[in-house]
């Protein structure tokens, strides 16, 4: 043993000092590389934080009671609505104007007439109360949600699922898809929780500035914790997509899987330009599929103009939401025009070429006006519009926010609907989502997936969850 030690020490002492330095640097380099790789593999999270959104200071204790809630109406409310509809001042639409200038006035008169004389709000209130509603106070706000328990068959696993809406939608968007998720056959069935974003519908609006998607995500985590769920799926589109992404970034250990029908992945600007220039002619070089090419390039020359034409509302709501909101909060017909124009155009841009905006191709007037009534009866249009300013206003530095530069590591399913506002190829999605289990080119549908195509969305969600569950330990 002594001879071996002498040989080893002699061998080292005989080495050239330069070689020793190279050996040392190499060892440090390899060690550093291994540490970096370990760091890269570690799931990164964003801070959860905390908040208080009512006036005054946060109390030492919080009421965690979950209270049943029932949607109600009154004759006084209905008569006030009828009076306001009857006093609406209409402007004649331009000849052959269709929806190119916004909501067509001629068709708006038809909507107002139906609303006043045929729409039955009391009946729709009963429809809303079909599912159990609740409220609970979180960070000073009364947060509304519906909680739908499944019809469980023998041998079925029950999986908790939170579904989050966007603007100008509401929890009501999910009423057509809920039976497909809670009354289904197969290995599993969902127990669904659909909250209203604070400031939307029956969820109380924040009284302080700064309430963003990060705060909504934290509140929804607290809601699920209050319901005793610590392992669940999440699904969303529009703002719901951003909020659920934030939930996955805050507490990935709680998220069993995330499914989105609006895909936001911020590719580098230079990379995006290169992809767009090369992708049409050599799509395989930039990872585009044939379907990506079909969805991106017919409209590429129009993209800038389309974004300008369809994002005016965003500039208003991200800067002066209260000013525009005053008129909408005072006029039910004005509110309907503002909201329903989005349900027309965001379902399919081609609907602008139609006199009726194509609204009744995918939706019934009863369903559309029920969503409008949720905003009207709660006076929530202004606080819902403020959500844009809190997320996109200059003071928030949205694109520099930590959640925008943090990747998402939970199992992810992506449904790319052909008439979504912007198409995000899978190769771009990989820049943000590191564990994509499914990416589906949906055959039809637009921005309001659950409202437009509940069967397609539920099928895609089911196949994604099936893939995730098959890989989980027994």
Cα–chain-centroid distance for residue 14? Answer: 66
What backbone torsions phi and psi does residue 256 show, to the nearest 5 degrees? -75, -35
Retrieve residue 463's tokens. 């196949």
What angle in degrees, to the nearest 10, is found between the helix axes of 332-345 and 75-86? 80
Q: What separation in angstroms does the CA of 380 have from each of 172, 198, 328, 329, 343?
A: 15, 10, 10, 8, 18
How many Cβ atoms from other residues are within 10 Å of residue 413's Cβ? 25
Instruction: Indicate if the alpha-carbon torsion angle 359, 461, 261, 69 is positive or negative.
Output: positive
How many Cβ atoms from other residues are within 10 Å of residue 239's Cβ? 22
48 and 254 Cβ atoms separated by less than 8 Å: no
Closest CA to 422 of 287, 286, 267: 267
Closest CA to 161 of 144, 178, 175: 178
84 and 331 Cβ atoms separated by less than 8 Å: yes
Catalytic residues: 238, 388, 447
SS3 assignment, position 143? strand
What is d(CA 317, CA 333) in angstroms, rounded to the nearest whole number? 19
197 and 169 Cβ atoms separated by less than 8 Å: no
**DSSP at 16:** -
299 and 306 Cβ atoms separated by less than 8 Å: yes
Retrieve residue 234's tokens. 């999440």
Helix (H) or strand (E) holding 2: helix 2-14
Question: Cα dihedral angle (65, 244, 385, 383), rounded to 10 degrees?
Answer: 10
């Amino acid at each position: 043993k002594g001879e071996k030690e002498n040989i080893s020490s002699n061998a080292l002492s005989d080495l050239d000092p330069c070689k020793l330095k190279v050996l040392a640097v190499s060892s440090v380099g390899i060690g550093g590389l291994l540490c970096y790789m370990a760091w890269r593999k570690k799931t990164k999270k964003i801070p959860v934080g905390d908040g208080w959104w009512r006036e005054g200071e946060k109390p030492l204790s919080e009421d965690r009671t979950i209270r049943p809630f029932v949607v109600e109406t009154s004759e006084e409310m209905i008569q006030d609505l009828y009076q306001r509809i009857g006093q609406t001042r209409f402007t004649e639409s331009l000849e052959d104007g269709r929806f190119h200038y916004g909501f067509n006035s001629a068709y708006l008169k038809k909507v107002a007439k139906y609303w006043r004389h045929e729409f039955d709000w009391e009946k729709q209130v009963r429809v809303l109360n079909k599912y159990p509603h609740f409220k609970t106070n979180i960070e000073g706000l009364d947060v509304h949600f519906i909680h739908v328990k499944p019809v469980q068959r023998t041998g079925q696993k029950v999986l908790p699922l939170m579904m989050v809406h966007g603007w100008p939608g509401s929890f009501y968007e999910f009423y057509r898809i809920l039976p497909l998720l809670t009354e289904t056959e197969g290995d599993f069935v969902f127990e669904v929780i659909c909250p209203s974003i604070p400031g939307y519908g029956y969820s109380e609006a924040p009284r302080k500035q700064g309430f963003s998607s990060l705060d909504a995500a934290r509140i929804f985590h607290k809601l699920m914790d209050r319901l005793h769920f610590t392992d669940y799926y999440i699904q969303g589109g529009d703002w719901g997509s951003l909020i659920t992404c934030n939930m996955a970034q805050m507490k990935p250990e709680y998220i069993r899987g995330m499914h989105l029908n609006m895909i936001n992945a911020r590719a580098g600007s230079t990379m995006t330009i290169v992809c767009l220039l090369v992708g049409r002619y050599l799509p395989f070089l930039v990872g585009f599929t044939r379907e990506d090419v079909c969805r991106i390039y017919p409209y590429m020359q129009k993209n800038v103009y389309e974004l300008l034409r369809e994002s005016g509302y965003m500039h208003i709501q991200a800067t002066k939401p209260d000013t525009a909101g005053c008129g909408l909060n005072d006029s039910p017909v004005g509110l309907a025009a503002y909201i329903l124009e989005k349900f027309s155009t965001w379902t399919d841009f081609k609907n602008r070429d139609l006199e009726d905006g194509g609204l009744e191709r995918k939706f019934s007037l009863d369903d559309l006006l029920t969503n409008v009534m949720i905003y009207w009866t709660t006076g929530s249009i202004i606080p819902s519009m403020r959500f844009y300013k809190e997320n996109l206003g200059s003071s928030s530095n949205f694109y520099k926010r930590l959640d925008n530069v943090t990747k998402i590591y939970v199992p992810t399913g992506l449904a790319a609907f052909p008439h979504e506002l912007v198409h995000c190829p899978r190769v771009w999605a990989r820049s943000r989502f590191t564990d994509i289990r499914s990416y589906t080119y949906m055959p039809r549908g637009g921005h309001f997936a659950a409202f437009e195509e509940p069967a397609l969305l539920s099928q895609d969600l089911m196949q994604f969850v099936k893939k995730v569950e098959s890989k989980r330990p027994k």
